[in-house]
Structure 1
Amino acid sequence: MLQPLKVALVAGEASGDILGAGLMQAIRNHCPQVEFIGVGGPLMEAQGLQSYFPMERLAIMGLVEVLGRLPELLSRRKRLVATLKQQQPDVFIGIDAPDFNLTIELQLREAGIKTVHYVSPSVWAWRQKRVLKIRQGCDLMLTLLPFEAQFYQDNQVPVLFVGHPLADSVAMHNDPLPAREQLGLPADAQVVALLPGSRGGEVAKLGALFVDTARYLLAEKPQLRFIIPAANQARREQLAAILAEAPNLPIEILDGQSQTALQACDAVLIASGTATLEAMLFKKPMVVAYKLAPLSHWLLKKMVKSPYISLPNLLAAEMLVPEFIQDAATPEVLGEAVLTQLRDGSKQTQRFAELHQSLRCDASQRAAQGVLQLLGRM
């Protein structure tokens, strides 16, 4: 009879919490006797994870911003490695958060613990020498995107392309009317969703910009309606404070419900990140914007080799979605780009359907199978 499994996982933000929860459920479907330990959010905790500290302590945006939290992060990682060496899990799975997790993987693998990294860091775009550390510290890389797997194969890293769980969970076709009814939006209104990010730093840099863009759009199309999902109560309060400086705009803050907002809307103004993939899966024309601290942006410009920042463009290998970074992101420029998509976003949406299909691979199941095969438990 097989011994119960002990699986350690560490996720650093909301998107990792979603991936981790799906993976945990799939592992349990194969191995009901399993214990989960590590760090994760509410979804992973609902799947039975014993989280050693709040996942939010790992969610930091930008290169410069991390410096103020570096002593805490290093201390937490050191204690976590010591705890995991003591606990001796069968496998450690680092979910995204590469700057935190790759070092853990290296140290645990040296201690004889199997290691998996779930969600490739952007080594194909910048800091490509990290692949050497990954090869040394990682028994298996699980990638969500097909072009990533090829990069690891070329660099002799064991890899499995699993597809993207979001592509599995979002239907190929979505009727906006039920979502509009749920949100109390008129069936015949033109609706723009504003998604300035789930982190406090992102909302601080993009929230007011997106609200100013809504004001610009209203001057051109006074009947527009706007919805802006808040990832949590802290983001809701942050957004409410921004909207208080711009009264009487038809912008409704939603409690979560980002996917409902995407289903209901006609176009999206969105921060670069995982949410752009969600918007793509809902086949919504979008405009992408992003801002960083000036020094972080300067450093990234020197290091990034990829021509695109948004996932739809990386998947399409073309500038399918307009992208505006730093000073290029102004209310006027963003507003005109959104108006263009409201007039005709069919080029984006047709390509989005093809890309969606390519990512539907039952990702959580494939990822779980990869982990269990590594452990000889399939």
Structure 2
Amino acid sequence: MNVSTSQAEAGASPAPVFAMVVGEHSGDTLGAGLMSALRKSHPEAKFVGIGGPKMLALGFESLFSMEELAVMGIVEVLGRLRRLLHVRKSLVQYFTDHKPDVFIGIDAPDFNLGLEEKLKQKGIPTVHYVSPSVWAWREKRIFKIERATNMVLALLPFEKAFYDKHQVPCTFVGHSLADDIPLTSDKSQARQALGLKAEGKILALMPGSRGGELSRLVPVFLQSARLLLAQDPELTFVVPMISEYRAEQFKQLQQQHAPDLPLTLIVNKTQQAMAASDCLLMASGTVTLEAALIKRPMVITYKFNALTYLLGKWLVKLKWFSLPNLLANRELVPELLQQEVTTDNILPLVKERLYRDQSQLNAAFTEIHHTLKQDASAQAAKAVLTLVKK
């Protein structure tokens, strides 16, 4: 780390350098929160690595685009493996030449754990923020995590219990989404803010934030919406998209499968769109936790590349795959996986949640919210700073 002449003369410690790598939008949100929390004690801190738009807006120096890492699934990763290895090798070289005070890999475990292991071997303290799902599959990865990290920051309480069992340093920090999302979400206010009609039912179609997810889920989502509209002509559809790029991809798919279906595309206002809705038809992912915290009923779906699914089916031993159900340790929301994702299965599940009382579900979601509301970014910053050398 370079020390300015004035700092050296004054005997002041140089501003700490925090290296971070995120691979998708949920990690960008966590990274931005952690940056803000760390700046409260270190206003002049430098942040460098791979960041998303929220982190960049806070002054993060990104060496590569976050989209380089936005790939999911075994088969999909193999197609990008050469480029991913180049990015990781470049980061190892950069952080070897410009040693940070600590490295924080945020999610993206298949990429970040290998990077963390190499950096830890070079004497750089490493943190992995968001526990990989070692409790769900490939449990022996716990040994690689132990080799690669000085500490894991867990978002979910049952994860810390798993690490404690294996005597791997772990801190439960809660989830920043639970801090950011209010305990009650005003539907009328959200509709007004988005210019949506005040009365009537609204169904949100949420086929994911990755290109592959959209291509696999949009056709059946649109077909389901068309059938639901035939049964209830007053039903309104909103489609929250994470970016203009994904919105364009959705428009192209709609032109192919349901060009005349009336719907409202909403870009970069996902939480507001969910709050404005009565039910969500959605892809699995972190967004399902957002939905639970906003207290909206949902039907969760997921379709993998066929080979990825076959490999995963052999490796994964889970009763549920969605976060609301895993946190509750019971089926709060319906899940449809792979060949189960059909209009015949989707329609009755959506209709039940659109037109029936959901007060019991809301109570369960509120309990989850209280459990995860821990001031996560501040807790994560506190844990990270224990590894910064004085």
Tell me how far apart the structure 1 counterparts of residues 197 and 264 of structure 2 sit (CA, whole Å): 13
Cα drift, residue 253 of structure 1:
0.9
Aligned to 1:200: 211
CA contact (8 A) 1:216 1:332 kept: no
Match of 2:339 in 1: 327
Q: Which residue of 2 aligns with 1:265?
A: 277
Alpha-carbon distance in structure 1 between the residues aligned to 2:59 and 2:194: 32
TM-score by length of 2: 0.95
Contact 1:273-1:310 within 8 A present in 2 as well: yes
Instruction: Give per-residue Cα distances to partners, 1:258-289, cap 9 Å, x unaligned.
Output: 11111100010110001100100100000000
Name the residue aligned to 2:3: none
Q: What RMSD, in angstroms, separates the aligned Cα atoms of the two structures?
A: 1.1
State the one-letter code of the partner of 1:23.
L
Q: Deviations over 1:120-146 (max 9, x none)?
A: 110100011110001111101001110
Q: What are the superposed Cα offsets for residues 230-268 of structure 1, whole Å, 9 maximum, x if unpaired?
A: 111221111111222313322111112111111100010
CA shift for structure 1 position 350 = 1.6
Distance 2:98 2:284 in 1: 37
Contact 1:61–1:202 (8 Å) recurs in 2: no
Q: Which residue of 1 aligns with 2:368?
A: 355
Cα distance in 1 between the residues matched to 2:203 and 2:92? 45
Match of 1:2 among 10, 13, 29: 13
Aligned pairs for 1:1-378 within 5 A: 1-245=12-256, 246-342=258-354, 343-375=356-388
- Structure 1 CA distance, aligned partners of 2:72 and 2:216? 11
The count of residues paired between Structure 1 and Structure 2 equals 377
- 2: CA distance between counterparts of 1:211 and 1:55? 29
So what's the TM-score if we normalise by structure 1? 0.98
Match of 2:8 in 1: none
Per mean C-alpha deviation after superposition, the further-off stretch among 344-353 and 366-375 is: 344-353
What is the alpha-carbon distance in structure 2 between the residues aligned to residue 355 and residue 341 of structure 1? 19
Cα shift at 1:376: 5.3
Which runs of at least 4 in structure 1 moved beyond 6 Å after TM superposition? none
Deviation at 1:76, TM superposition (A): 1.0
Structure 2 residues not aligned, in runs of 5+: 1-11
Structure 1: runs of 5+ lacking an equivalent: none
Distance in 2 of aligned mates of 1:216 and 1:134: 47
Q: Is the 8 A contact 2:101 2:389 kept in 1?
A: no
How far does residue 62 in structure 1 lie from its aligned partner after superposition? Answer: 1.1
2:202–2:236 CA contact under 8 A, matched in 1: yes
Deviation at 1:299, TM superposition (A): 0.6
What is the CA distance between 1:347 and its match in structure 2? Answer: 2.9
Determine the C-alpha separation between the residues in 1 that align with 2:31 and 2:361: 30
The CA deviation at 1:349 is 1.6
Contact 1:81-1:108 within 8 A present in 2 as well: yes
